[in-house]
Amino acid sequence: MSSAYLESQEADTLEQDAWVRLHPHVERSAEFGEVDLRYVPLAALLDRVPEPPPRHPLTPPPGALTLSEVIDAPVELVHDFVTDLRKRAIWTEGLRDMVGNEPINRVGGAHTCVFENLEVHVVTVDHQATPAGFHYVESGDAGLGVTVVSDFRLTEQNGTTHLTATLVANQVEDPAGRLARLWAAIRKWVFLRSARQGISRSLRVLKSECEALARDEAASASPSPAGTAG
């Protein structure tokens, strides 16, 4: 709020609650020079904001593929490694390149995973902190009539990270006819079967990379031993 606005208001209409206290601030710019402002911090209202409901069910639906790993590394480190698209090829089996214009992996951002014989167009649909860690969800479409939702849940427990990865394959549209539905079901089963092997190996690589990084960071943070006098 600018000083001009404040001068036009009655004082008793500006501070109606105990948490409302106007703080002075001066904004400087080449276009407008100095502008006197008053602002109200909203931190006091955080306790009044309810926790949002989870955007995705906590219980995987029937037919979902769920794998897990316990990683001896801080949950923040694992979260940063999983969500950093530049590091995706390090631990994702078969991934050759990542194509995307998003500098930051944010909800609604899109990128393309380039494999040897396949390109998967991916959108980040959920990315939020939870009381115990992080929740990250992607949705991918490879143009095969099946979309895949990848749900990563990272939970901190005694300094380690419990990572649960759930894959849900969905038909883009319900095929007409018994043979078409049978073929779609077989194609989905083959996809999940091959995905289980690839994702299992990928998570083991992710575990190894994160634990090695955690050891390196711990070593660099430790004070070097003092030299002994000769």
| Same domain as 96, residue 181 | yes
Dist CA 109 CA 125 (whole Å): 8
Report the distance separating Cα 78 and Cα 136, nearest Å: 12
Tokens of 202: 């990928």
Q: Evaluate whether residue 55 is within a structural domain.
A: no
The answer to whether position 38 is within a domain reads: yes
Do the domain assignments include residue 54?
A: no
SS3 category, 87:
helix
Q: Is the pLDDT of residue 217 over 70?
A: yes
Number of domains in the chain: 2
Note the pLDDT of residue 193: 62
DSSP run (H or E) holding 34: strand 33-39
Q: Is the dihedral of CA 81, 83, 85, 88 positive or negative?
A: positive
User: Which residue range(s) make up the domain with 32?
Assistant: 3-48
Domain membership of residue 143 (yes or no) is: yes
Top-confidence range, 8-12, 15-19, 56-60, 221-225: 221-225
**pLDDT tens for each residue of 71-125:** 999 999 999 999 998 898 899 988 888 888 776 788 888 999 888 777 889 999 9
- To the nearest whole percent, how much of the chain has pLDDT over 90? 28
Is there a contact between 102 and 111 (Cβ–Cβ < 8 Å)? yes
139 beta partners: 123, 149
pLDDT of the residue at 30: 79
The distance from CA 61 to its chain's CA centroid, rounded to whole angstroms, is 21
> Looking at the structure, do residues 108 and 187 belong to the same domain, yes or no?
yes
88, 205 Cβ separation under 8 angstroms: no
pLDDT category at 230 given cuts 50, 70, 90 is: very low
Mean pLDDT of 51-71: 74
Give whichever of 44-48, 96-100, 211-215 has the largest mean pLDDT: 211-215
pLDDT-derived band at 157 (thresholds 50, 70, 90) equals very high
Q: What phi and psi, each to the nearest 5 degrees, are found at residue 196? A: -60, -45
Task: Give the pLDDT mean for 140-159.
Answer: 85
